[in-house]
Structure 1
């Protein structure tokens, strides 16, 4: 760095142009009279005394009398510490600007596009901790470790958490322990192929990012029920339905709680066929008014697509396939006030969109 660059940098650090020029001149001269400093720099003679005293107040030089006013550069330790501190603040400010640019104020946007996976994971962590009823998340074991604390908080708050684990490209993952899964989720499955990171929170928030080796690196954070419903079906079909269950805490005896109507429908249909009386409590929203409702009664019927073409589904399969549940799927519940129909996520034709269905008794 030449003298002009050093002078310009000192100006950026807070010195006036005359102060910066005088200080660089004193560094070269070592010690000199005020007159000599003025002659060797661009500082006018009438200004040199004020300039040197200003530098002395800032700790850059010290002045002394020797027939006339003299000055010499002060021990640079304090000056260097100040400059380095300023450099650190500039670096911190630069990083903060970059972070704020990459992470806009999500509360003011329904859709946010961000640059880094870290931003998506950080927002998913916040949303999972604040979840009210359900979380679905697809992630690698390393990402699971990052979100484990948030998932544990959600479980402690009574949230139903489903975890789909999958590997990084060209790597054999070390899966979480059974104890770790027990603390963080109600059920976990393992997919053998890599996949994008995805988190769905309370049927409203979606956090998505491509896998680490994707050509395009970005993240999407959306607060929208319709898009969340679309991603929910991606989660079911690609990350959940056909993959191995590696952990589950589902009860075999009542009370048994479901946040997915289609899973409930699969379990109750054979019980109805066997003549079992199924008592239930349904919590959700009235599809006409949008108001929160709770209904208690007896499940009397199930409805779903039961005439799927044999070429698209295995007709010999005894359990209901996901394809059969991809359209209209509902339960009928006989209550003290009459019959009500119960649909799942996004229900429009039924009386209630169920958020939680609890089987309270089997008789």
Structure 2
């Protein structure tokens, strides 16, 4: 059962990377064979023999298949690592081209005139999208980053590396964790950051007596202007549903002051860059 699942998953992923179904089926078939004729590929992949040649021709053009001009012709897939790198480069090339094309498109005229937007709130879904937005906001920081970690798996090597880069540029970085163990891990990785155990116990559950399995995943405040809050919901079977987030910028000073005070709960005053020095 697992073998069938892996087989179909490989075909599906290859299609997501740009191959058509018959091309993906032929490549997966060849990945299972040291080499094969069109007849053997057809039998293994369940692709009509007359369509195998067209699929192989495309795979050869993409650098995924080698051909031996014998009688009958023999075909074999390039090594899996090589194929993955070829597909990755093509995917990245298409992404770069897409960015260039979208950037070059002239913006449509807006009926809103030149009125400045002072406050906006947007929603995002999906861990990948939220992680990318988190990284983008951190990259744009100019003075201070306050990051409260609600779930341990939010802390990745990429995030730690990015926060270290922020520290290297002289930014204040404050990180709140839910456990002492995680605090120690983050503090060891980022010795120049202010890392503390957050006093926001309600991040993991509602303070009210209700059946609420929503967990705050991350809280981020950038330069006392931009806020991102994400959460996940745990089902009755223990599965984590899609992470969802809201983020906004241009908040008035009162809201930001309150948000920052809440997020700094648990941080010793002496470690808070906002605490004035005693003269």
**Bucket of the pairwise TM-score, normalised by the shorter protein:** 0.3 to 0.5
- Larger-Rg structure: 1
Q: Which has the higher contact order (CA 8 A, sep 6+)?
A: 2
Q: Which one has the bigger strand percentage?
A: 1
**TM-score normalised over the length of structure 2:** 0.46
